[in-house]
Amino acid sequence: MAESSSIPSIRPAHVVGTTLREHVLQDMHAAPGATGEFTSLLNHISLAIRIINSRVRAAGLAGLLGYTGETNVQGEAVQKLDAFSNEVLLNVLDRSGHCGLIGSEELDDAQINNNHAKYVVLFDPLDGSSNIDTNVGIGTIFAVLRRSEPKLTRPNLADALRPGREIVAAGYVLYGPSTVFVLSTGQGTHGFTLDPAIGEFFLSHPDIRVPARGSCFSVNEGNFSRWSPEIQNWARWIKGEDSTVIVPSEGAEPLKTPYGARYVGSLVADAHRTLIKGGIFAYPADSKSKNGKLRLLYEANPMAFLFEQAGGMATNGKDRILEIMPTELHQRVPLVLGSRDDVSVFRQFVTGERVK
């Protein structure tokens, strides 16, 4: 009988060599009645991401830095890399044949296909555009929903205007020192890292869990003067300027302040750090952006889905993000997400329900 090796495994055997494609196929095989269309759709999204990544890596050499001179539906100047990423995703998703409706942050209206395809894909093609020219972390965010009656009705806007709890898959890609694809199909949140030599995403962060509490906060304090008094009080407390002892829930240990400040200005970069290390990311409403700044369908819902699947929490300050019923394609919303204890305390400041 062969002797067992005394060399400890670096990571579980099921992780070694698992590609994104294999991971998605495993989920498909576990789903009763699966047809393979969902798997094919996610593979097409992965293809689009790899194409975008190749241009992001060589943007300065490919003439993709700077602005196009156009303005998008959000009233923001369009970067060349924004436009390129948007076109890649639109073309790849359209060719997949699986999308009845496609919504992009860069498009005035949803792209409706004349077919009975099952899925809706909503995306921010390149998050953190203001950081492109300075080589700071940027990313892509997306959400997938399943149309309720694809065989009976043609696609329409109502297919997209649904609460985030109905999402069947969401993910983001961080184009940083390495390219990381974080995905959830409702079976936990998992991270994949691109091996550029092979051109494949490999499972590198299986079953990500957000720590119950962290030690860092991520917020644009340049907006402090525009925040409500309640949010200003939270900012003072988390920086240790208010010595009030606060616990997130009955019987829990008090949270220790001050927290460290970390803010990049790209949602994907700030959210990824928070997902991995815990803490809180906040982009609350203010007197300038009274309805919030981030987009519900393209940014808040996908991120909220990923964080909840990882054991975290996401709110607009009062209500669960995934319960919000959208009324328009480019609806904005305040977004606060991260460790459950830290988000709970933020909500207590906003609602006045602080546990002492």
Tell me, what's the pLDDT at 25? 87
Q: Are 246 and 255 in contact (CB under 8 A)?
A: yes
Tell me, what's the pLDDT at 75? 64
Interval 218-245: pLDDT, tens? 999 999 999 999 999 999 999 999 988 8
Tell me, what's the pLDDT at 309? 98
Helix (H, G, I), strand (E, B) or coil at 222: helix
- For the cut 50, the answer to whether the pLDDT of residue 153 exceeds it is yes
Tell me, what's the pLDDT at 353? 76
Helix (H, G, I), strand (E, B) or coil at 334: coil
- For the cut 70, the answer to whether the pLDDT of residue 65 exceeds it is no
The better pLDDT of the pair 12, 56 is held by 56
The phi-psi region of residue 282 (left if phi > 0; otherwise alpha if psi is between -120 and 50; otherwise beta) is: beta
Q: Which residues have C-beta within 8 Å of that of residue 206, sequence separation ≥ 6?
A: 12, 14, 15, 190, 191
What sign results for the dihedral spanned by CA atoms 347, 351, 355, 356? positive
Q: Distance between CA 46 and CA 60 in Å, rounded?
A: 23
Q: Are 129 and 169 in contact (CB under 8 A)?
A: no
Beta strands in 105-209 (DSSP E): 111-112, 119-127, 138-146, 167-175, 179-184, 190-195, 200-205
Q: Which of 223, 67, 182 is nearest to 132 (CA)?
A: 67
When pLDDT is averaged across residues 99-111 and rounded to a whole number, the result is: 95
Residue 43 CA, distance from chain mean position: 18
Q: Distance between CA 254 and CA 249 in Å, rounded?
A: 9
Question: What is the model's pTM?
Answer: 0.90
Tell me, what's the pLDDT at 6? 39
The better pLDDT of the pair 62, 42 is held by 42
Q: What is the DSSP letter of 320?
A: B
Tell me, what's the pLDDT at 111? 94
* Half-sphere exposure at residue 193, Cβ-oriented, CA atoms within 13 angstroms: 11
Q: Are 174 and 268 in contact (CB under 8 A)?
A: yes
Interval 128-143: pLDDT, tens? 877 777 778 899 999 9
User: Which of 59-73, 273-287, 342-356 shows the highest mean pLDDT?
Assistant: 273-287
Q: Distance between CA 59 and CA 41 in Å, rounded?
A: 27
Interval 292-336: pLDDT, tens? 999 999 999 999 999 999 999 999 999 999 999 999 999 999 999
- For the cut 80, the answer to whether the pLDDT of residue 64 exceeds it is no
Tell me, what's the pLDDT at 8? 40
Tell me, what's the pLDDT at 12? 44
What H or E segment, with its residue span, contains residue 218? Answer: strand 216-218
Q: Are 190 and 205 in contact (CB under 8 A)?
A: yes
Interval 168-223: pLDDT, tens? 999 999 998 899 999 999 999 999 999 999 999 999 999 999 999 999 999 999 99
- For the cut 50, the answer to whether the pLDDT of residue 284 exceeds it is yes
β-pair type (200-205, 216-218): unpaired
Taking the CB of residue 153, how many other CB atoms lie within 10 A of it? Answer: 13
Q: Distance between CA 248 and CA 268 in Å, rounded?
A: 26
Q: What is the largest CA-CA distance in the chain?
A: 73
Token pair of 149, please?
């009656």
